[in-house]
Amino acid sequence: MYYRLVSGTPLYRVTSQGVDWPNPVRALGAFYTAGGRYNGPSQPTVYCTEDPISAIAEAAFYEALEWQYKISRHRNLAVSYPLVSTLRFWAFSISPAPTIIDLAHPQSFLLFQHTYQMLLNPGLNPASSAHRSGRSLARDYLGTQELANEVRAFIPPRGSPDPRPEGLRAPAVRSMKVGRYRPHQLALFVIHPDVHDLYENRSERLIECDVQIEFMGSPTRRSVTARTVEIDWQRPRFRLAGPDAAIVPAYLPRPKSRPLQPNRWYDLDIRFV
């Protein structure tokens, strides 16, 4: 049931521009939102992953929604071409490593009484609140938020060698499955320092650089212009850019994984549901 993350393992996440270290491990972004998949309002949670492709795919999904919003309001909200978003890419490690519950482990299903379908549910929170009257519950994260609260409150039985969990591991909903490999994400809880040492006190920044995500025309795979008819929202491309960009090692569990070279474009598949 416990996922044993090795201390020093590189973890990845993508944030907006203008975020300074160590804010990526303080989870202030999650704290001030209406809630995410595994956190409610005022619950600081660091969303990250061991797979850099998965972290970028998650960010690309939400950038696609932003571009779609701008396009739908193009009469009063100018759209700049090409459709390139520039975000901030982070690699960091945490030592000692946090204790994590794997929600896809058979023992977790028995203990917390959830389903695999809940973990893969593509629902989104309404923008204005955790839930709005008249809005279908299928568009909420209420189930996974409640599940995360149970993990936060879980205390191992007396005499157990396992410590209280600091986070969870679950399938990454916005990343495509590759063969038998299913990408995952980590939701790390920022807990009161009387219980666990804060991540900012035990994290090391490994990489900080820009990541550019561009949505392409379909089927041409050319940059989008005002004359482009079809946009391939499911398959953008990305590159790590800027003077601080560095080689990101291959994540070996991902089939055909390879190191990510700076300033080189790579195609990206999004589970766009």
pLDDT for 78: 81
Map out the domains of the chain as residue ranges: 2-267
Instruction: For residues 258-269, give the mean pLDDT.
Output: 97
User: pLDDT tens for residues 162-197?
Assistant: 889 999 999 999 999 999 999 999 999 998 888 889
Q: Is the pLDDT of residue 26 over 80?
A: yes
Residue of 196 and 212 predicted with greater confidence: 212
pLDDT in tens, 57-107: 999 999 999 999 899 888 887 899 999 999 999 999 999 999 999 999 999
Closest CA to 93 of 241, 243, 249, 213: 249
Quote the pLDDT of residue 270. Answer: 95
pLDDT of residue 224: 97
Check residue 47 and give its pLDDT.
96
pLDDT at 77: 78
Whole-number average pLDDT of the chain: 90
CA 199 to mean position of chain CA atoms? 17
State the Cα–Cα distance between residues 5 and 271, nearest whole angstrom: 26
Assess contact for 116 and 17: CB atoms under 8 A. no
